[in-house]
Structure 1
């Protein structure tokens, strides 16, 4: 009789476990099927990136994108809210015209830098190049020469071809010669800046105070036709990045005795102090509503392009994963949250503010999955220094289709990330934030913070893979009977200092950006 009882209990346990396995497989299968047959990624991308565009914090486009995201979540039956956490310098990019008018007419490729002041009317003026000067005293004597002129403060690159193009076609002597010349020129230009007694940050301000008509830069990104577009430091006159090809032409004309004239008109507007916010979406947990699994991606971007791969792709991945989860897994065990962070580009400020403002969530976090480095499929996941992360993430990955899983390299327990993206805001306070790191697609040169970061650079097959992966990881983390332990590894000795390694320290959010 006892043996029969044991057999019945064992059968019941087996049946229960088998039911869970079947249920788990059914949800995973439905995740894959929904994304394969009914993906919304292209539509979401077109609406966000083409229709609204870049999402520089403090701009009307960022505000418009936030409202769009709230409407999308509402249409999917997902509760979402706008969480104000600070305020920012409001700014709106207007129409820009940048033209060479002497010695010939040519429209120039260029971009007014973010938060650069606008102009009441077009200004036509000669160009002057920052010269080689012996020291800061010589610089001060030269400074009055800039009055009424556009000042070039970037080096003119010796080549507009990326290095891989040289490697493919050039003779070895030619590429070695080019690299040597570029290194020498770069060192000389760095010394030219240093001898002013200023930095690349303070030099434009000094030129502005001396009466310059505007500042011209060229921040080449080492690819064909690609420049990095960041922020201006001037407050009165415009700062404009000129693409390498046109910048080099203006520079050469000037050096060869022709004094080119250009006309610039930038119509940007200051909008005063505006609120900044995160978007947080939620699918409430049924069994453990006060434990959380999070999806994470920053919502803001620079605005040289449309922020497609930094971080439109991460945003689309997380929105699509939430849409799928709501449809095929509407009653999760743990509460599922998605965080769309603002002002990541100025120092992870949105996620840092969330960590400060929501200790009740951070302290009960099962896992956070963040994606933020381009259009590529996820190929690396690390344990961020949590001793037991590998046991859990490896188990969760077992449910992922092999076509996706086999491409992913894992490193456990790994080391804690101290910055780079929003997962680090959570890691710094000992919460399990993990980066879903993707392959390159020439991200560093061609789309990261550039004027070419646009919709056409997205590889949607890779995004579909990432949406499936994220949804499955979130589902598995939600269902896991166990809570991921937060034990940290002992970090190795720092080879530079000889001191024991230290866990990254929490950094407070800047809640008043650009208002100094």
Structure 2
């Protein structure tokens, strides 16, 4: 019996040794994350010093170069890989002031890629869209826009978000407000439709008719928050004015006050510039041709500084890579990180990478993508891979219970078809998983808004996501098994009566904004 016990012990010794080694690495990941976190300094350098990262801007290029330098300072190989070209543009000083019938500085900004003004700016009266009978009457009205700023957004009936109304208003008052808003929105949309245009195509028509500028207001249904996207004008400036000031100007026009505004928007057209992904890797030692990929898009809109979309995802992946290089410098599989360009315009950076690197995509063990905001990861689903429960659950068991207990899992899940860069890999058949976060009012307050700034980051949650990501990457790298790519059979579509199909790879836009 003694000999048998000794024999069994010797057989199990390698497994016990691996288990102890695994526990040590996991403990060291947590120790480094908690005791030597670089998140706040990385966040400051990226978000405060560099700022927003709109594709085609010098700030986007500065961010790519900064990331490469940072990785190299940690002993991690990194480079910028060009995937295409984009309209080059640089935001300058924006001032928007009402100058008549009184003087007031207004809250707003120029939209992305908008044509600029001279340093002296332009001054003109504001007008709003009329009540439109039909396309003929609209064409007759069009010449009146010449030399004027045209307001193209609906006047909102309230600047208070619905949750504020729900808390303080009577139920009757809340319902009355919602009904009035629905009626106003329907009437506004039908009015534009009668012009023969829609909300997008009407902008070039106004520009061609001689408008001096376009004034928009895309309220985000939150206090002080407006969505800031791209301009649709080619020669005249487009500015977005926050709801509070926009509504005041609109009422002035309605009451015949003939308000005038002065706009300075000193942006620059930089021609055509190259567009990049930043790629860094820790080379595998046993299976270097197989890949664990950490994924986050690097670009942002530029109403704020892109802190939660996707500064926080970027910080998670950079900090996870730094920690892995320090405590797990010789991974079994290659651990690669992709900081993708132009996700906001249609996953262009990641879909280009998938198209350009089949040798990597065909040998992916797992992709972990993080995008939606500052919150701790709340959900992971199996992305439609039939056996995903086996390996995702196995890897998650190594994650500390303080983090794991807050995560909901769904298997086999559903294949991502858009929304973020994991979809680019899923469409190519690679097991790619979204680390989906708690909201923290992301959709209304910070998603593509002027309020998406450093102060909205919840660093405790970001730190939790770093530990989760680093441990999942470690476990995926060390796993003895190659992950299965077997896909679920999708159900019948109730609308078409046909079986739904797996998403197909999208064709990236490699020459954008031109």
TM-score interval for Structure 1 and Structure 2 normalised by the shorter chain? over 0.9
Matched-pair contact (CA < 8 Å) for 2:79–2:279: yes
Matches of 1:308 and 1:193, distance apart in 2: 35
After superposition, residues 271-310 of structure 1 pair within 5 angstroms as: 271-310=270-309
Identify which range, 256-265 or 313-322, moves more after superposition. 256-265
Shift of 1:505: 1.1
Q: Aligned residue for 1:63? A: 61
Secondary structure at 2:435 match in 1: strand
Secondary structure at 1:369 match in 2: strand
Matched-pair contact (CA < 8 Å) for 2:379–2:407: yes
Q: Aligned residue for 1:391? A: 390
Matches of 1:488 and 1:4, distance apart in 2: 49
Q: Aligned residue for 1:168? A: 167
Shift of 1:16: 1.0
Matches of 1:227 and 1:418, distance apart in 2: 27
Q: Aligned residue for 2:28? A: 30
1:90 to 88, 91, 113: 88
Matched-pair contact (CA < 8 Å) for 2:95–2:109: no
Matches of 2:150 and 2:11, distance apart in 1: 78
Matches of 1:497 and 1:327, distance apart in 2: 53
Shift of 1:119: 1.1
Matched-pair contact (CA < 8 Å) for 2:132–2:192: no
CA deviation vs aligned residue, 1:443-484 (integer Å, no higher than 9, x gap): 000000000000000000000000000000000000000000
Q: Aligned residue for 1:250? A: 249
Shift of 1:10: 2.3
Secondary structure at 1:468 match in 2: helix
Matched-pair contact (CA < 8 Å) for 2:114–2:233: yes
After superposition, residues 11-410 of structure 1 pair within 5 angstroms as: 11-120=9-118, 121-410=120-409
TM-score of the superposed pair, with normalisation by structure 2: 0.99
Matches of 2:235 and 2:500, distance apart in 1: 45
Shift of 1:9: 4.2
Matches of 1:176 and 1:449, distance apart in 2: 28
Matches of 2:352 and 2:487, distance apart in 1: 23
Equivalences, count:
513
Identify which range, 186-195 or 313-322, moves more after superposition. 186-195
CA deviation vs aligned residue, 1:324-365 (integer Å, no higher than 9, x gap): 000000000000000000000000000000000000000000
Matches of 1:500 and 1:345, distance apart in 2: 30
CA deviation vs aligned residue, 1:130-155 (integer Å, no higher than 9, x gap): 11111111110000000000000100
Q: Aligned residue for 1:454? A: 453
Matches of 1:57 and 1:368, distance apart in 2: 23
Q: Aligned residue for 2:418? A: 419
Shift of 1:8: 4.5
CA deviation vs aligned residue, 1:17-59 (integer Å, no higher than 9, x gap): 1111100000000000000101000000011000000000000
CA deviation vs aligned residue, 1:390-443 (integer Å, no higher than 9, x gap): 100000000000000000000000010100000000000100110000000000
Q: Tell me, which stretches of 5 or more residues in structure 2 are unaligned?
A: none
RMSD, aligned α-carbons: 0.9
CA deviation vs aligned residue, 1:91-150 (integer Å, no higher than 9, x gap): 000001100001110000011000000112411110000111111111100000000000
Matched-pair contact (CA < 8 Å) for 2:96–2:107: yes
Matches of 1:103 and 1:80, distance apart in 2: 56
Shift of 1:163: 0.2
Secondary structure at 2:89 match in 1: strand
Shift of 1:5: 7.1
Matches of 1:171 and 1:217, distance apart in 2: 32
Matched-pair contact (CA < 8 Å) for 2:307–2:457: yes
After superposition, residues 474-493 of structure 1 pair within 5 angstroms as: 474-493=473-492
Matches of 1:176 and 1:264, distance apart in 2: 38
Matches of 1:63 and 1:473, distance apart in 2: 30
TM-score of the superposed pair, with normalisation by structure 1: 0.98
Identify which range, 9-18 or 409-418, moves more after superposition. 9-18
Identify which range, 56-65 or 192-201, moves more after superposition. 192-201
Q: Aligned residue for 1:470? A: 469
Identify which range, 437-446 or 10-19, moves more after superposition. 10-19
